[in-house]
Amino acid sequence: MVDLENLRTIAKETISREDVKYFIGWREGTYGFSVSPHFVREPAEADKLIFSPLCSNNLATYLTLAEKLPVPRGQEPDTRKVALMVKGCDSRAVVQLLVERGIEREQVVVIGCPCQGVIDTKKVEQLLGQPENVVRARWEKGKIICQLPDGEKEFIKEEVLAQKCLKCRYPNPVIYDILFGEKVEPWCQEEDFQEVKEIEGLTLQERWDYWQEKFSSCIRCYSCRNVCPLCYCEDCILDRLNPTWINRSVNISENTAFQLSRAFHLAGRCIECGECERVCPVNIPLMKLNKKLSKAVKEMFDFEPGLDPEAKPLQASYRPDDKEDFIL
Ligand code: SF4
Ligand code: SF4
Ligand code: SF4
């Protein structure tokens, strides 16, 4: 059972600190959305905070999004800390941002939330056989209880959890200043990369056909880029016109260039929060691409991003004993 009173007390105490400018958590959504990010600037606003199986959004995205807004002329930047609620996977984004110096440790107060998994609302709809608005949800003794417009419905966790959660190895935050709730027992010890292996088992032509079919439906809305906590360049190559690295035309060639460039830019950096895939309006299985690169990075460099704040960024470091002969 999630102790919301305790969460709201933590938030009120945190936002009352002189060195904290705002507290980012989740609240119930509006206009048919189940959940929204919630920026708490006053203690009274903390009463809307929630933590439930609907809290999918990785809020670490806001650490770089909000902080890179231009400061109006004549004003000084507000250098106080941002307090941020994180689940296990989200906390890995914070660690990776620290590794890349995208943020500094003293800029953030991490509120760690041990997590029992978030639901994939598409799975709920499939089980119900119709589109359904999940208004609220809660974890209860290994089950997930969803509140629907016409009453409550109980689901076995494994039936409705997001794919990433079924194989989650880090449900507890890997970094935090304040822990909200009790740590949970991880239910998965090792990544088996099963989905990647299935694609690797196809011939080259079959793999190409598979991805061409998927990429052909991309509408280049850039939701996957915008939601990603590690896609935070102020000057993204996708937006550049001179030189134009990737044309803005929506066609299979440019879509493929976009998808592969983005995947390579995330190699050794993607912390597998699954947000890109969750928000894709045309259901492109982006996590398969991300996982393929995670597998390569693990096998080649024995590296997993977002775990050690003292680690060197993979793509910005080398080892003299690297087995490749281009290292002299
Ligand atoms: S991947 Fe793990 S930490 Fe992230 S939402 Fe799922 S269970 Fe929670
Ligand atoms: S979210 Fe989906 S449709 Fe939009 S740009 Fe990304 S892959 Fe393409
Ligand atoms: S690429 Fe996708 S899974 Fe990886 S960090 Fe970004 S949003 Fe999360």
What's 31-48 look like in SS3? CCCCEEEEEECCHHHHHH
**Same-domain check for residues 208 and 173:** no
16-37: per-residue pLDDT in tens?
999 999 999 999 988 767 899 9
Q: Pairing state of beta strands 20-28 and 49-50?
A: antiparallel
Phi/psi of residue 29, nearest 5 degrees: -85, 175
Domain membership of residue 169 (yes or no) is: yes
Write the residue with the smallest CA distance to atom 6 of ligand 3.
Answer: 228
Tokens standing for residue 148: 């629907």
CA 31 to ligand 1 center in whole angstroms: 26
Look at phi and psi of residue 29 and say left if phi exceeds 0, alpha if psi is from -120 to 50, else beta.
Answer: beta
- Residues having CB closer than 6 A to ligand 3 are 227-230, 266, 270-276, 290
Which of 2, 92, 115 most suits a substitution to test ligand 1, by most atoms within 8 Å of the C-beta?
Answer: 115
> Which ligand is in closest contact with the Cα of 93?
3
**Same-domain check for residues 106 and 163:** yes
**Same-domain check for residues 234 and 138:** no
**Ligand 1 site, residue 288, Cβ cutoff 6 A:** no
**Same-domain check for residues 174 and 150:** yes
**Same-domain check for residues 20 and 162:** yes
CA 241 to ligand 3 center in whole angstroms: 25
CA 226 to ligand 2 center in whole angstroms: 10
Domain boundary among 179, 202, 237: 179
Domain hosting 173: range is 4-179
| Length in residues, the chain | 328
Which of 211, 212, 215, 218 most suits a substitution to test ligand 2, by most atoms within 8 Å of the C-beta?
Answer: 218
151-156 sheet: strands from edge to edge: 136-140, 143-148, 151-156
289-322: per-residue pLDDT in tens?
999 999 999 998 999 999 999 999 998 888 777 7
pLDDT at 241: 80
**Same-domain check for residues 173 and 198:** no
126-181: per-residue pLDDT in tens?
998 887 788 899 999 889 999 988 889 999 999 999 999 999 999 999 999 999 99
Nearest Cα to Cα of residue 177 among 51, 1, 20, 3: 20
Q: How far is 203 from 174, CA to CA, in rounded Å?
A: 38
pLDDT at 19: 97
Which helix (H) or strand (E) covers residue 290, if one does?
helix 286-301
Domain membership of residue 185 (yes or no) is: no
**Same-domain check for residues 200 and 136:** no
pLDDT at 76: 87
Tokens standing for residue 322: 């690297």
Cα 276 to Cα 61, 311, 323, distances in angstroms: 12, 25, 33
Which of 59, 89, 187 most suits a substitution to test ligand 1, by most atoms within 8 Å of the C-beta?
Answer: 89
Ligand 3 atom closest to the Cα of residue 269 is 5
Coil/strand/helix, residue 154: strand
CA 18 to ligand 1 center in whole angstroms: 32
CA 279 to ligand 2 center in whole angstroms: 8
> Which ligand is in closest contact with the Cα of 94?
3
Half-sphere exposure of 122 (CA within 13 A, CB side): 9
89-138: per-residue pLDDT in tens?
999 999 999 999 999 999 999 999 999 999 998 999 899 888 778 889 99
**Same-domain check for residues 133 and 213:** no
CA 97 to ligand 3 center in whole angstroms: 13
Tokens standing for residue 33: 């959305």
Write the residue with the smallest CA distance to atom 1 of ligand 1.
Answer: 165
